[in-house]
Amino acid sequence: YMTGQLASHWGAQAQVVDTPGTYSLQAKTEDELITKQVLTDPHFQLKPDRIVVVIDGTQISRHLLLAEQVRVLGLPMIIVVTM
């Protein structure tokens, strides 16, 4: 994963954690395992308080499983659809 700082024009700041692309939190690959750890491990050093799920608009059905799994976690989430 990668981390970075985000700052707005009005002074708000946030740390952003970009995890590898994944289709599910039922980890089958190393990338999915990293994303699952970031989202579910209470001891992970960068526990998110908000989640942005980016969905490929040309493959929406493939990505909705991940969006549903993240929703179940109960953290604030926004879905972004790209084309």
Contacts of 57 (CB under 8 A, 6+ apart): 81, 82, 83
Residue pair 73/40 in contact by the 8 Å Cβ criterion: yes
Instruction: Determine the Cα–Cα distance for residues 5 and 15; give it in Å rounded to an integer.
Output: 5
pTM for the structure as a whole: 0.80
pLDDT tens for residues 11-57? 888 888 888 888 889 989 998 898 998 889 888 877 788 899 999 99
pLDDT tens for residues 55-80? 999 999 888 999 999 999 998 999 99
Look-up: residue for tokens 């526990």?
A: 47
